[in-house]
Structure formats: C-alpha cells, structure tokens
Amino acid sequence: MQPISKKASTLFVVGLISIFACNHGDAQSPVETQPANTKYKPAFTGQTRIAGVKTKAPVSVTLLSKDLEHPWGICVLPDGRFLVSEKLGTMCIITTTGKIVKKITGLPKVVPDGQGGLLDVNIDPHFATNRMIYWDYSEQTSGGTLLAIAKGKLSADETKIENIQVIYRATPAYKGTLQFGSRIVFDKNGNLFVSTGERSGNDIRMQAQALNSSLGKIIHITKDGKAVPGGPFSKTPNARPEIYALGLRSPEGLAINPLTGELWESEFGPRGGDEINIIRPGKNYGWPVITYGIEYSGEKVGDGIQQKKGMEQPVYYWDPVVSPSGIAFYNSNVIPEWKGNLFVGGLSSTHIVRLVIKNNKVVGEERFLKSEGERFRALAVGKDGALYAVTDGGRFYRIAKK
C-alpha cells in the first residue's frame, strides 16, 4: 500500500489490516529485525523482541483530517468529540469525522522551541458539569524554561478558557528546550498524575534521582497543585512530597490500565533502551544509573549497567528505539482481541505499536501504519470503540473495526 499523497483530499480509507506492518515471514518471529545498538542482555525472557502477533479482525484505517497544527495531546469529550492541544499554543475541538469545529485561543504563552510548547491536555473527571480543563506547557522564566501545569474553565462558546491558574511548576528551571515530559492522567480520586522529563543535559540529568527536584519524576498532585496526602516520600526529609516515582528520562506516555487500575508509562531511552514501565509508589526506575541504551555518541551511559538493586526493571524495552510518545489502553468490546492491549505512538519509528499484555507481561507485539511515514504523537480510544491518533504532521486517523 502506498502512503497517502500529501495533496490528497481530507477523508481517505487507507486500507484494511493487510497494511499493518506486522511480521517478516513467520507469524511468531519478533517484529523487530534490525540489529540492536548494544549486546546488553535482558533481565528476563520476553523483556524485549517478543514474538509478533497479527490482528485477526478486519480493520479499516481512515485519514480523517490533515489540518491540525502540530498536535500534541488528545482527550475524549463527554459527547464523543475530541479536545486536541497544539504545540504552538492553541487547542481545538474536532469531531469523529475529522471536522475542526472550534479553535481555542488566549492560553498562557508557551515556548515552542525544541520539544517544548503546549503539551498534554486532559479534562476533569466531572467535566460534564464543571467544564474544567488541565494542560501543561513549557514556560519561560528568568532561570530558563520549565514545565508548568495549568487549569481553567472552557467557555460556553468553546473558544477560550476562563479563570486560568497555574497550579504547579516542575523546578528547577533549565536553559534547554528538550525532554519536558509530559502527560496528565487522573487517578480514581480525581487527583493528577503528571510525568516530567529530566531535561536531557548531562549537567542536570542526575536530578532524576534527586528527591528535592521535580525533574524525571511522576508527580502526584491535587487539582489545586498540592501534594496528594500520604505520598511515598511525604515523610522523607528534604524530599518533595508530591513525588510518586523517580528515575525517569523522557516520559511522554502515561495511562491507567482499566483492567488492573495500575499506572503505565512509556519513555524515551537514549540510543536504544526505550521503555514501558508499570509505575508504583516510591519506586526508582533507574535513569541515568541503569539503562538498556547508550549515549548518542556511542559511549556507555554512566557505568554501563542495566540492573541494580533497588531499581526497577522495565516491563518491556526496545533497541533500536521506536521513540514512544502517547499511549492508550484499549478497553472496548468492539474489537475483542484488542481488549486490554496497550497501544503506543512511535515518533522516529513512524508507526503505532500494539502490545498484548497478560499478567503484566508483554506477550506479543504488532506494528502498523508504517507506510504513512508519520510521527504518531498521541492516541485515544473513542466512545465508538475506534482507536484515534494524531501525528506531528497534523494528521488525524481513525482505526476501527470494518
């Protein structure tokens, strides 16, 4: 199947499941066939290069729109439409047919350089009655840029956000434009989990291990930006009480598994070592002490170790990288074989990954939409049971049962 022409009209059925870039030959061989960057050995069988799988149900892929402006986050509104954040500082509301019906402006100024900008967006669990929206973005300060988390009420005409408040800032600020994170997920009590990046620089990355820094963490805060009471470090001297987990590099995916209630995360490794983790309170995920990747220069990271007592192993990792961004669990009965599967948007790999999960282990991997040549930034499962994806190139896809 040839990629869709950039000059194509707005609505296209891309194809059926036959376009999914699954396996090369044997259906049980791993989907990854390229050589790894390292000779590092996994900690357990199935931690990487698991057997490939193929979706059996007939599935159609439809390009709904190519008119979004650098989309970054997507969430489902109560009426089935989607709220999309755009990197340069706006949001929009788009329908399931791909029509952009509202443009939301007037948000706080963002720094759209590098990996910064207007990043994730999510709605309050009680949005139907309170119309509250939460988002994060890169903010300029005198000390550099940082990740700021804000909230506000969507106006009645859906064109602006009212009574905007910044509720949290991930400090310290840093004079760089890389690796802010970040995703926003609500827990069952209506509090926020937010992932923060460690900002990339060799002079700051170790703050992912520091309990007096917000960088390289999962932060757990209330809707007012305060630490959720009883956090794992709430009684640790000199620790920030809002820290829920630490040792993360660039966590751009965050989702709660609806079947277990546990928090899952995807993060970029350096050259190799992209990870999927189950995030548990108080746990240390190792960066930059342990990693399955190497520096972009080819040198080892730190001591070049992959395992250390007191540090968690990823559930799954990739080498070479897929550059995992947004993730979403499929929790619909429309495509039964996908229920409980984790979908991962790939950036540099330009495909979507489907991971089959059993007992918190990855037991199968599938890849699709490689032929589109798009960087898949964020995913969401619609109320109709379809998987929706937005790309850095401004495209909006619907993947659904045929």
What is the Cα 22 distance to its own chain's centre? 22
Q: Would you give the distance in Å from CA 389 to the centre of its chain?
A: 12
What mean pLDDT do residues 315-336 have? 98
Q: Closest Cα partner for 87 from 101, 70, 67? A: 70
Sequence-distant (6+) residues with CB within 8 A of 366 are: 20, 22, 31, 52, 53, 54, 55, 353, 354, 356
Spatial separation of the C-alpha atoms in residues 208 and 212, rounded to whole Å: 10
pLDDT of residue 13: 60
Give dist(CA 136, CA 117) in Å, integer: 9
- Indicate if the pLDDT at residue 17 is higher than 50: no
Name the pLDDT band for 7 (thresholds 50, 70, 90): very low
> Does the predicted model carry a pTM greater than 0.75?
yes
Instruction: Give pLDDT tens digits for 247-289.
Output: 999 999 999 999 999 999 999 999 999 999 999 999 999 999 9
Confidence of residue 28 (pLDDT cuts 50, 70, 90): confident
CA gyration radius, the chain: 20
pLDDT in tens, 110-151: 999 999 999 999 999 999 999 999 999 999 999 999 999 999
Tokens of 226: 């305060």
Task: Render 350-362 in DSSP notation, one character per residue.
Answer: -SEEEEEEETTEE
pLDDT number for residue 24 = 39
18 phi and psi angles, rounded to 5 deg: -65, -20
